[in-house]
Structure 1
């Protein structure tokens, strides 16, 4: 899928929003951006659900086989080199850690840290929880999509979607009530981090991809109404913000995630248009932020921590200067990882996949001389 400026802009918004959220621990002077910055992760989930969903569902909708090895190769080389590089820094350079306590390395390597974390004592690299959710999605979604599309039917998709959304709400409500007196740490461990609690954003994105793949007339109608999608999406995000005034409360925990997820998915749909202005709007710097967003996500908290430990006292009370310094440090760390590790491996991945495609393409038949025809 070619890059669209609208989707790049959303990805850039997502990473900036997340960085503001994590800067709140440093006394961020921009509370409106920081307070609801956790929604940036849900925007990443919605984008991932749509983009990965389209990669998987497009060939299946055409009756083509899913190239399993290509899919998992692409995902592995997209994620693992940069992720492993950051883990190596955590092990070899303790100063790099934003917090002293850290879960065992095997939990990061097996993408199980979001299920097993002791958040009270081991906050270092805790933001890898969302990557664990993504990895579980990469592993299981192609299998589920293949199974559901052997005999595709609208009722199957609707039933699975309703079961996932309703099941998640019921499960979060039950866990919330059972954890009522256990504090914010228990809320993070039992509601915010586990994969089965955070499927709404990925599901919303996948449903967009399913509409595009299996109901192209519906998709075309949506693309003609991108302004309406944009307005509805913003209304959904506003409703989620209203629901989530108390982020740890019952209504935020139960209803906030699906409302913000489907609101953000509508924004993704609006940004996916190749003809309308919602998909073609360009903002300077957004394309680079989008390209480097994964590296920025992996490193920004560590760079914040380095600045805070060495220069935090001098930056206290200087809101704009602090913003510039912390932002510059985050951009520097992300750029180093992106250019040194992530981008070279992405280029290597593309060469490997291209060679595979070349081998699969049959050589053109030799021309038969006219005299022999």
Structure 2
């Protein structure tokens, strides 16, 4: 799938928003700029929708053409995309504790097995905790190809709707149960227990955070299975965008009390629907409307996501605090530091492995093309 300027813009916005949110690791943005990052956690949900759409289309399109599930190629491509930069950043966290944004780190095996989001002791092991979303993605990569293959063996709208609605219902039930039975009993007690149970029981676990991925997959399924409806979305992208922004405002209003019962139960599917509408509209953005720098930020987004807390902590430790910088000077130095570290990780690790992946893909395609001629 070729790069689309609208999706690059959304991905760039998502990573900037997430980094602004995570500025709390260095004390926040201050009163003047705090509003920029208060809701930046929603950038992760936008990443989920984008991933669901792109991976969903990558798998559903060939299956809809009755091609076999190329699961080996899929897992190889995902491994080359995800693992090299992740393992390098994890090695830094394990080997150099002074570089961590928090003192304690979960056991390395939780990161390597992608079970961090299910087993983390968030009260004590906050370092590199943002890898929780990568765990959700990996679980999606592991299971979705086979679910897609099963659904398209004998395509049925009723079956697909049942699965989709079941996933949404599961998330709502899990989040509601955790809130009522784990969070409500400690709501009025002093201490961090309420927030900790929210993070560990509602915000991190895969089974409670599938709404965004599902919304993206549904968008891909619309493109593959209902091309005429997809073309209508493209033709009326402005209307779809306005509807998506309206839903987003409603979700944002609901999440004013982020840890409340109704935001926990209803907020995530509503937010995912809003973001999916925006993603659907963004696919129609003409190339000539590409925003300068958005494509570069989109390409950097994975490396930036992995490394930005390390960069923020390093800048705070070595420059901002010793020099007693504040306001725009500190903000600018943090931005430069995060971009620099992310770019080094991308160009030194992520990009070489992506090029290696491209060479392997071409070799596999060449071998596949030779088979019919040989036969």
In which range does the TM-score fall when normalised by the shorter chain? over 0.9
Cα separation, 2, equivalents of 1:173 and 1:239 = 20
Post-superposition Cα deviations, 1:264-296, rounded to whole Å, max 9, x if no partner, equal: 0111111112xx54x753111111110010000
Cα distance in 2, alignment partners of residues 100 and 248 from structure 1: 26
- Choose from 362, 365, 373 the match for 1:357: 365
**Structure 2 partner of 1:138:** 141
Q: Tell me, what secondary structure is at the counterpart of 2:136?
A: helix
Show the counterpart of 1:264.
275
User: Does 1:247 find its partner at 2:248?
Assistant: no
Partners in 2 of 1:315 and 1:188 — Cα distance? 35
* Aligned equivalent of 2:155, options 141, 147, 152: 152
Q: 1:54-203 maps to which residues of 2 (within 5 A)?
A: 54-178=57-181, 179-180=183-184, 181=186, 182-203=193-214
| Change over 3 Å in CA distance of 1:280–1:264 after alignment to 2 | farther
1:261 and 1:76, CA in 2 relative to 1: closer, same or farther beyond 3 A? same
Q: Deviations over 1:12-57 (max 9, x none)?
A: 0000000010013422132222110000000000000000000000
Match of 1:289 in 2: 297
Give 3-state SS (helix, strand or coil) of 1:122's partner.
coil
Shift of the 224–23 alpha-carbon distance from structure 1 to 2, 3 Å rule, reads same
Of 169-178 and 76-85, more deviation after overlay is shown by 169-178
TM-score, L = length of structure 1? 0.94
Q: Does 1:17 align with 2:17?
A: yes
Give the structure with the higher percent helix. 2
Distance 1:101 1:164 in 2: 34
The 5-angstrom pairing of residues 339-354 of structure 1 reads: 339-354=347-362
Count of residues in correspondence between the two structures: 363
- Aligned alpha-carbon RMSD (Å): 1.5
Query: Unaligned 5+ residue runs, structure 2?
Result: 187-192
- Taking the aligned partners of 2:11 and 2:178, their CA distance within structure 1 comes to 31
Deviates further, 147-156 or 18-27: 18-27
SS in structure 2 of the partner of residue 292 of structure 1: helix
- 1:345 and 1:353 map into 2 onto residues whose CA distance is 12
Shift of 1:309: 2.2
Which of 6-15 and 24-33 deviates more? 24-33
Q: CA deviation at 1:235?
A: 1.1
User: Structure 1: which 4+ aligned runs deviate by more than 4 Å?
Assistant: 314-317, 363-366
Unpaired segments ≥5 residues, structure 1: 367-373
Paired residue for 1:370?
Answer: none
Is the contact between residue 24 and residue 35 of structure 1 (CA under 8 Å) also seen in structure 2? no
CA contact (8 A) 2:81 2:354 kept: yes
- CA deviation profile, 1:172-222 (whole Å, cap 9, x unmatched): 111111122131011101100000000000000000000111111111111
- The answer to whether the 8 A contact 1:115-1:193 is kept is yes
Structure 1 CA distance, aligned partners of 2:338 and 2:344? 10
CA deviation profile, 1:279-318 (whole Å, cap 9, x unmatched): 7531111111100100000000111111222334357672
Range with bigger deviation, 12-21 or 302-311 = 302-311
Q: 3-state SS of the aligned residue for 2:259? A: coil
Q: Is the 8 A contact 1:24 1:31 kept in 2?
A: no
Distance 1:173 1:361, change over 3 A: same
Match of 2:189 in 1: none
Q: Determine helix, strand or coil for the equivalent of 1:120.
A: coil
Give the 3-state SS of the residue equivalent to 1:362 in structure 2: helix
Q: Is the 8 A contact 1:4 1:280 kept in 2?
A: no
Q: Which of 220, 228, 233 is residue 239 of structure 2 equivalent to?
A: 228
CA distance in 1, matches of 2:121, 2:289: 43
